[in-house]
Structure 1
Amino acid sequence: MIARLPLDEQLDVFRTVLSRNEVLTDVLTRTAALDLPGWYVTAGCLFQTVWNVITDQPPTSGIKDYDVFYFDSTDLSWEAEDAVIKAGQEVFEGVPAEVEIRNEARVHLWYEEKFGVPCAPHASTEAAIDSFAATTCCLGVRLEPDGRWRVYAPHGLSDVFNLVVRPNPALAPRAVYDVKTLRWKSQWPELTVLPWPA
């Protein structure tokens, strides 16, 4: 059972499993070329690739998009973020999936309007990843200049490998968790979705 392996071996398996998603490895390589500060490919494209491989589905099945987070607090204007998004559109041209780039230093400027709850400014990309609606989602991967994979997984990998979705009431409201888990459960019925805390 993968989740019972020592953490270093879990990381090896995690990388092997993610490498089966060729769109993901392509996005990682192309994002590295953008050289964004504090960047990670994050969220659904990671844990959903694992779920697909474990449940014998094609590695890209059900993945809506590939999220790229970066952190640049030197310019919080929409124009600066939009320039990065446009540069990304060129870099990701030909990738058979939507790649969404966001500056996590700007999230607090629009989060409340979109989700109905205020968001304090994030201090880093990692802090933004920490705030996902489920701990299972709190993952980030990037390619270092030496080709090494940097994996950010503050809650470990056991739930990901065990197909367990655990709520993370740090920021996102319950409604976000409910909507996401309903969609995930329809795509991956093998999931165990834990209830939002009372």
Structure 2
Amino acid sequence: MPQELENNLIEIIENDIWMTNILKIVRDLNLNDCWIGAGFVRNKIWDKKHGKYRTELNDIDVIHFDKLNPSKKYDLQIENKLKKLNSNLNWSVKNQARMHIRNGHQPYTNCKHAISFWPETATAIAVRLNNKNKVEFIAPYGLEDLFNLLVRPTPKFNLTIYHARIKNKRWKEKWSKLEIETRYNDKFDK
């Protein structure tokens, strides 16, 4: 993965006080293998590349991996705790130790493995703040598609659902420079 893109991602997020405050809230929950992903990262980079300030997010996707407590009830308890800490945000908490069941996959081994099954390569990226207030990230497909404004399906995602998602999200209307691919690319192993 090009070091320049890694540095760019980290710098963009570390320079965004709103994002780092949210990352601190989530970090302080002390959840195992915990990250914020999807639109939280993707939209920020797309906005930056389009000269926009901030496109409103549907939710803040908090993911974690806890085999010992995979219940949905536990995730709802975490969401409620987050709402008390910041009620202005729509929190969505998902323990990736159980999400394979909903998605019809073999069990995931950790959050990085789990997000490799997310819909788009530019969405399959998550960040967190470590105890030294430095941004860390996971990106099973790298950062190139995200920074190159390329939307393509991950090789593990259902293409029919991907196409419906692209249609429903209407991203091209918000970010006109996006290039949207309709099929898998040989760049990634299937």
Task: Name the TM-score, length of structure 1 as normaliser.
Answer: 0.83
Structure 1: gaps spanning 5 or more residues: 1-5, 112-117
Q: For residue 148 of structure 1, report the CA deviation from its aligned partner.
A: 2.2
Q: For residue 29 of structure 1, report the CA deviation from its aligned partner.
A: 1.0
Q: For residue 62 of structure 1, report the CA deviation from its aligned partner.
A: 4.2
Q: Which residue of 1 aligns with 2:188?
A: none
Distance of 1:92 and 1:120 partners within structure 2: 34
2:172 aligned partner, one-letter code: K
| Pair 197,155 (structure 1): closer, same or farther in 2 beyond 3 Å | closer
Distance of 2:77 and 2:179 partners within structure 1: 40
Q: Structure 1 residue 9 and structure 2 residue 4: aligned?
A: yes
Could you list the runs of 4 or more consecutive aligned residues of structure 1 that deviate by over 6 angstroms after TM superposition?
none
2:153 aligned partner, one-letter code: P
Q: 1:138 aligns with which of 124, 146, 152?
A: 124
Q: Structure 1 residue 80 and structure 2 residue 78: aligned?
A: no
Q: For residue 45 of structure 1, report the CA deviation from its aligned partner.
A: 1.3
Q: Structure 1 residue 55 and structure 2 residue 50: aligned?
A: yes
* 1:146-187 Cα shifts (integer Å, max 9, x gaps): 2222111222212111101121130x3223322332321221
CA RMSD of aligned residues (A): 2.0
Q: Which residue of 2 aligns with 1:110?
A: 102
Q: 1:125 aligns with which of 99, 111, 122?
A: 111
Q: Which residue of 2 aligns with 1:114?
A: none
Q: Which residue of 2 aligns with 1:29?
A: 24
Q: For residue 194 of structure 1, report the CA deviation from its aligned partner.
A: 1.0
Q: 1:98 aligns with which of 83, 90, 94?
A: 90
Identity percentage over the alignment? 23
Q: Which residue of 1 aligns with 2:37?
A: 42
Number of residue pairs aligned between Structure 1 and Structure 2: 183
1:24 aligned partner, one-letter code: M
Q: For residue 136 of structure 1, report the CA deviation from its aligned partner.
A: 1.5
> Aligned with 1:150: secondary structure?
strand
* 1:20-77 Cα shifts (integer Å, max 9, x gaps): 544322210110111110001111110111010110111x214322211001100222
* 1:60-104 Cα shifts (integer Å, max 9, x gaps): 2143222110011002223322222222222333xx432211111
| Segment drifting more, 155-164 vs 21-30 | 21-30
Distance of 1:12 and 1:144 partners within structure 2: 16
